[in-house]
Amino acid sequence: MTIFIPTPLRTFAGGQDAVEVNATTISEALAKLTETHPELRRHLFTAEGKLRAFVNVYFNDEDVRYLPAKEATAVTAADTLSIIPSIAGGWTN
């Protein structure tokens, strides 16, 4: 499946905007992603291994938190995961 990496996290994924992984579930896909790119781990997960509150993960166009099976949801090669962190920019900065 394809995992889309948002701009703020690309430096931790070798600059790539998308990463392909072979996985059968969402949690396996995220595990493989952070195995290949260990720097991503602390940005995505808390020390207890929970997804951080300011990072949302979407399975296709649906928030993983609202899927019946959540991160255990089965995935195919055609599915996508999108990591969407909060961004604040817009005004003066």
Partner 1 sequence: MAPLTEPIPLPELTTDELSRYSRHLILPEVGMEGQQRLKAARVLCVGTGGLGSPLALYLAAAGIGTLGLVDFDVVDASNLQRQIIHATKDIGRKKLDSAEEKLKALNPALNVIKHDTMLSSANALEILKDYDIVADGTDNFPTRYLVNDACVLQGKPNVYGSIFRFEGQASVFATEDGPCYRCLYPEPPPPGLVPSCAEGGVLGILPGLVGVIQATEVIKLILGKGAPLIGRLLLVDALNMRFRELKLRKNPECPVCGLNPTVTELIDYQNFCGIVPEAAQDANTKNGIPQISVKELKRRMDAGEEVYLIDVREPYEYQIAQIGGKLIPQNDVPRRLAEIDRNREVIVHCRSGARSQKIAEFLMQSGYPRVTNVAGGILAWSDEIDPTVQKY
Interface with partner 1 (CB under 8 A) = 6-8, 11, 17, 39, 43, 52-54, 56, 58, 61-63, 66, 82, 84-93
* 73 token code pair: 């949801």
Q: Which is nearer to partner 1, 23 or 64 (CB)?
A: 64
- Strand intervals (E) in the chain: 2-4, 18-20, 55-59, 62-63, 80-85
Strand, coil or helix: what is 36? helix
Look-up of token digits 């992984």: 21
Instruction: Provide, rounded to whole angstroms, the least separation between the CB of residue 26 and partner 1.
Output: 15
Alpha carbons within 13 A on the beta-carbon side of 8: 11
Instruction: Provide, rounded to whole angstroms, the least separation between the CB of residue 76 and partner 1.
Output: 19
Q: Which is nearer to partner 1, 68 or 91 (CB)?
A: 91
* 65 token code pair: 């938190």
Instruction: Provide, rounded to whole angstroms, the least separation between the CB of residue 5 and partner 1.
Output: 11
Instruction: Provide, rounded to whole angstroms, the least separation between the CB of residue 77 and partner 1.
Output: 19
